[in-house]
Structures are given as C-alpha cells and as structure tokens.
C-alpha cells in the first residue's frame, strides 16, 4: 500500500509524456521552429555543436599522433613566479601553499601577499616564510585583490607569472603542464583547467561541479581551440612577464582577470587553454553566496566587454582586429544573448501558447536533458579523470533547472550594471578602492 503513490506517480508521468509526444508530433514543422526557436537556433549550435567540434578535433589529433608541447630541458627552464593574493584564508592557505611546494616544476618562486587579513592568514604565511622558500609580504591594511596582485608583480623576479587564488589548490604537475604551452612564442597567456574541490558538500556544490565539468571546462576547451578566450580566470592563469609589462598592471575592482586577458589580446598575443593543468577550487555552499558570485561575474561582462573595451567593435580603428571582434561577439552571444532570449522566449510562449505552456516547458526539459546527456558523454570521453564526473550523473536531471535559474541571475545582473553600475559598489573591493575605480 505504501508504494501505491509511487505507482500512480509513474503512471501519471507516463501518461503526460505520451500526451506531450502526441501533441509534439501533431505540430507542423514551421510551428515547431517557432515553439523551440531558442533551443534550435541558439542553444543547440552554441552548446552541443561546439562540444562535438572538440571531440572531433581530439580524435583527429590522436589519429595524427599530435602530442602536447614538451618542456625545454631543465637547465633552460625559465623561472616562474606564482603570485598568491590572500584575504582571510586561514582555513585553506596552508594546504594551498603545500600544493605549491610539492609542484614538480623545478624553478618556482612562491610570492604570497596578504591583503590585510583579520584572521590568522598572515601568521600561517609568515611561518611558511621562515621554514620554506616562500616570499611573504603583508600589506597591513586591506587594499583590494588588484593591489595585492600588483604588489606581487613588483617584487616577483620570474620570467613568467602564474596568478592564483588563495582558496585554490593544484595537481602536482599543474604548473609544469600550464608552462608547456609557452613553447609557442606567440602565446601570451594560458588558462588552466578547473574543477570543484568541495563537490560533496550539498546539492548546490554538486550542481556547480557539474557546471564546471560540463559547461565551463568544455567551453574553455572550445574557446582555446578557436582562439576565443577573453578571460583567463583569476584562480589559475599564467602570463609572460613581457606581456604584463606591456599591458600594464591590474586595475582596481572586480573583473581584473578578464580585463588583463583582453589587453593581452589587444597586443596580438595568443590566449590558450591547458586542459591537462588542473586546479581545484571551492564552490559557494549557500545559494545566497552563489548568487552574489554570479552577479559579480555577469556584471563584469557589461563592464569590460560593452564599456571598458568597447573599442573592439570600432571597425574604423587602425587597431581593429577581427579575432577580438568575433571573440567578443561569441562571449556576448553565449553569456548575454541566450539568457535574455530565454526571458523573451518565456513571454512569447505564454502569449501565444498559454494553454499549452506546461506541455511546452515539459518538452523543453526533455530535449535539454537529451542534449545534456550527449554533452556529458562527450565531456566524459575527453576527461582524464572519469571517476569523479561519473558521480555527477544523477544531477544531470536537475541541471536544466539550475541553468534556467542562472540565466535569470545573469539577466538581473545585466540590468543592474547597465542601469545602476552595480560593479562599482561591489564589496569585492573595499570602499576606498571603489572610489579609485575608473568609470567607463
């Protein structure tokens, strides 16, 4: 008797699925194109076809026997300065430093800059500075992440900089692997790969982990293959010193990672992705902190792509570059156009098919699930570590709802930045730094 409700639930779901399928098959092709225009014309090409492209490229590279670029002989290796800005990271900073001390790259300078932490971060870093080959610099008063990074740049002595976050740890060969890609002299910056370390904490961290595996890592892989990267993430990116000397230091405020990446593109240097250089970072564990993080990321799209570097779209400029133009278009299309299109789509469906809206949304969920399953198989095929991603499989059934929520957060962030310039009030930077931020 206790199982009767489950039997009825499956029976109702099966009946609804049958009705939805019959309704779907009864529509004319032109009507189906209208009903599913976002999926067919926007999401299918941008998500699934790009993943298929990555799979085909990997297969062709294997057939041709193409290998990753090899490091120089050890005596010719350049000195690499790892710059770690830290703020109230007492819980994690020790393990992060340990992961750097155990890197297999032989010529490493570790520079830790404490940005006025109020916990025991400075004490832990100072202890490591006394017992290990760590260069530690306390700033005393909080000045913002950009200031900490810039200070690290001024005191570092390496030929290359690796910028990392103090809540991120690294596989033993992560820096060796990310440095491999500088064997191409035209490469100015390299983005490392990333996954979530605290995946098992709760439902949200599982969803974010799936997002990193399914969308972000695969997205960066595609952008790296096609020259479309416009943001080397601040938690794991490497730059030539000469590039940073030419582009200038980090500007204050949020979005400094994408700003430096774009400036690197503007001096015509390649930006590539290192899928085999793995970092592990923590996901927000509450929905409130997740929304704040994603609002900040999304506001930076408006700030840096539509305002700060809007000259990329100036076709009359003597410095105009089609590669930067198309990279910006791709970024805006993926991060802005698709979320806004979904809001328009929901309004459109409610207006024209109000009586069938539940049926339409149900079919959308089913089609998205199928697309995500194909993406999951592709990502799993290209992944070097297949055990952890397999644990994410059950969460695929909720992924569409998670991404729908993220689209709404993005739209809210775009409105906030376009109308209220919310990035200039972001607590990511202290108030005195907010006043120093250049307004575009």
User: How does pLDDT run across 133-179, given as a tens digit for each residue?
Assistant: 899 999 988 999 999 999 999 999 999 999 999 889 999 999 999 99
Domain coverage including residue 315: 14-67+184-440
Residue 436's pLDDT band, with cuts at 50, 70 and 90, is confident
Residue with tokens 């938690």: 235
**For the residues 216-233, what does the mean pLDDT come to?**
95
Any domain includes 390: yes
The predicted-structure confidence for 67-87, as pLDDT tens digits, reads as follows 655 566 777 899 999 999 999
Task: Decide if pLDDT at 333 tops 70.
Answer: yes
Any domain includes 139: no
According to DSSP, the residues that pair with 279 across neighbouring strands are 170, 194
The predicted-structure confidence for 201-213, as pLDDT tens digits, reads as follows 999 999 999 999 9
Residue 296's pLDDT band, with cuts at 50, 70 and 90, is very high
Residue 387's pLDDT band, with cuts at 50, 70 and 90, is low
Any domain includes 41: yes
Q: Are 264 and 168 in contact (CB under 8 A)?
A: no
Any domain includes 79: no
**For the residues 408-421, what does the mean pLDDT come to?**
95
pLDDT at 426: 80
As for how many domains the chain has, the answer is 1
Any domain includes 209: yes
Any domain includes 174: no
The predicted-structure confidence for 107-129, as pLDDT tens digits, reads as follows 999 999 999 999 999 999 999 99
Any domain includes 236: yes
Q: Which two tokens stand for residue 74?
A: 């050890």
The predicted-structure confidence for 250-260, as pLDDT tens digits, reads as follows 988 788 899 99
pLDDT at 1: 43
Any domain includes 176: no
pLDDT at 325: 96
Average pLDDT, the chain: 90
pLDDT at 18: 75
Instruction: Give the chain as a 3 state SS string.
Output: CCCHHHHHHHHHHHHHHHHHHHHHHCCCHHHHHHHCHHHHHHHHHHHHHHHHHHHHHHHHHHHCCCCCCCCCCHHHCCCEEEEEEECCCCCCHHHHHHHHHCCCCCCEEEEEEECCCCCCHHHHHHHHHHHCCEEEEECCCCCCHHHHHHHHHHHCCCCEEEEECCCEEECCCHHHHHHHHHHCCCEEEEEEEEEECCCCCCHHHHHHHHHHHHHHHHHHHHHHHHCCCCCCCCCEEEEEHHHHHHHCCCCCCCCHHHHHHHHHHHCCCEEEEEEEEEEEECCCCCHHHHHHHHHHHHHHHHHHHHHHCHHHHCCCCCCCCHHHHHHHHHHHHHHHHHHHHHHHHHHHHHHHCHHHHHHHHHHHHHHHHHHHHHHHHHHHHHCCCCHHHHCCHHHHHHHHHHHHHHHHHHHHHHHHHHHHCHHHHCCCCCHHHHHHCCCC
Q: Model's pTM, two decimal places?
A: 0.90
Instruction: Kindly give the pairing relationship between strand 270-281 and strand 168-170.
Output: antiparallel
**For the residues 353-380, what does the mean pLDDT come to?**
90
């Amino acid at each position: 008797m206790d199982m009767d409700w489950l039997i009825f639930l499956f029976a109702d779901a099966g009946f609804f699925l049958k009705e939805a399928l019959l309704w779907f098959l009864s529509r004319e092709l032109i009507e189906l194109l209208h009903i599913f225009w976002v999926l067919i014309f926007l999401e299918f090409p941008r998500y699934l076809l790009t993943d298929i492209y990555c799979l085909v490229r990997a297969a062709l590279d294997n057939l041709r026997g193409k290998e990753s670029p090899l490091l120089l002989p050890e005596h010719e290796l350049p000195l690499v300065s790892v710059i770690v800005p830290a703020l109230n990271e007492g819980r994690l900073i020790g393990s992060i430093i340990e992961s750097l001390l155990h890197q297999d790259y032989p010529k490493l300078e570790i520079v830790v800059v404490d940005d006025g932490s109020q916990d025991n971060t400075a004490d832990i870093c100072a202890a490591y500075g006394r017992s290990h080959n760590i260069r530690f610099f306390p700033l005393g008063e909080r000045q913002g992440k950009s200031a900490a990074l810039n200070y690290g740049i001024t005191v570092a002595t390496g030929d290359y900089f690796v910028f990392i976050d103090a809540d991120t740890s690294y596989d033993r060969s992560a820096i060796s692997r990310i440095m491999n890609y500088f064997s191409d002299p035209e490469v100015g910056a390299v983005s490392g790969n990333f996954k979530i370390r605290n995946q098992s904490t709760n439902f949200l961290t599982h969803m974010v982990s799936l997002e990193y595996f399914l969308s972000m890592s695969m997205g960066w892989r595609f952008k790296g293959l096609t020259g479309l990267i416009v943001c080397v993430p601040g938690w794991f990116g490497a730059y030539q010193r000469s590039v940073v000397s030419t582009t200038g230091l980090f500007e204050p405020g949020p979005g400094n990672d994408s700003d430096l990446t774009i400036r690197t593109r503007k001096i015509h240097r390649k930006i590539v992705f290192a899928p085999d250089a793995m970092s592990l970072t923590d996901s927000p564990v509450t929905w409130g902190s997740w929304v704040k993080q994603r609002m900040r990321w999304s506001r930076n799209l408006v700030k840096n792509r539509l305002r700060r570097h809007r000259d990329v779209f100036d076709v009359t400029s003597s410095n105009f570059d089609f590669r930067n133009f198309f990279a910006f278009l791709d970024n805006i299309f993926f991060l802005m156009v698709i979320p806004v299109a979904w809001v328009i789509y929901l309004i459109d469906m409610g207006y024209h098919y109000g009586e069938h809206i539940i049926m339409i949304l149900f079919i959308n969920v089913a089609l998205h699930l199928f697309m995500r399953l194909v993406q999951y198989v592709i990502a799993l095929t290209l992944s070097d570590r297949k055990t952890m991603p397999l644990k994410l499989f059950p969460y695929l059934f909720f992924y569409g709802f998670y991404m729908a929520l993220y689209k709404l957060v993005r739209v809210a962030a775009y409105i906030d930045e376009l109308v209220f310039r919310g990035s200039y009030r972001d607590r990511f930077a202290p108030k005195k730094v907010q006043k120093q931020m250049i307004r575009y």
